[in-house]
Amino acid sequence: MTRKRANGWRAGVVLAAAGVGASWAFERDALMDTLWRMHDTYVLAFIDSEGFGERRLPAMSGLLHKPVEDTPWFVADLQLIGVAKHDPPRAFGGGMSMDVFHRPNEAMPLNRSPGRAISAEERDALRALDAGQRLVTHRSGPAGLRVFGAIRAGDECLGCHKNKRAGDMLGAFVYRLEPMPKDPSSSAPRSDRASPPKN
């Protein structure tokens, strides 16, 4: 191979790699925008509900198991990591206490769970969120995704969280996203996708 031809080949590989990288960056940015909107929807539902901490989780039950816009995922599980009132932080909800989301009678009091200690992965995600990162994502299994998003104090939170300032992290949501089930009559994912409510 001549030097000129070799340089041309290298330039082509670099351009192709740059194109693939740009494509991945665009897809990743679009995915992150979608995940931010999903997280904002859950945080607004949390803020607009009554009670404190885990007592606010039932307000999110209507959002669970719905597709996340045009992604291949739906929210299969949601957990709350309490930071503001827990030292060290504790995790609530999710598979370890689904009674938070499903009570036979709405008048039944919600038992307060002691929660569970957080994992090393959750601790690392909290550090990144506390340092200002908006979302932290990790692969979960062969096709799933775990998404960590901070719940930050707004002005409406400071009445109860008197020792906090606007923007301080009060807690975090941990979402487990799983692939949409396939329609048994075709190889395509179900098409009954719904976008999160727009405010």
Domain ranges of the chain: 3-179
Both tokens of 65, joined, read 């198991």
Chain length of the chain: 199
Q: Quick check: helix, strand or coil at residue 159?
A: coil
- b/e string for 26-46 if b means 16 or more Cβ within 10 A? eeeeebeebbeebbebbbebb
pLDDT in tens, 111-136: 556 788 889 999 999 999 999 999 99
Arch. (CATH architecture) of 3-179: 2-Layer Sandwich (3.30)
Residue 125's beta-bridge partner residues?
none
pLDDT in tens, 11-59: 433 333 333 334 334 466 888 999 999 999 988 887 776 655 555 565 5
Please check the confidence at residue 1 and state whether its pLDDT lies above 70: no
Please check the confidence at residue 179 and state whether its pLDDT lies above 60: yes
- Give how far Cα 146 sits from Cα of 60, 137, 177, Å: 17, 6, 6
Both tokens of 62, joined, read 């209507």
Range picked from 26-30, 108-112, 185-189 for highest mean pLDDT: 26-30
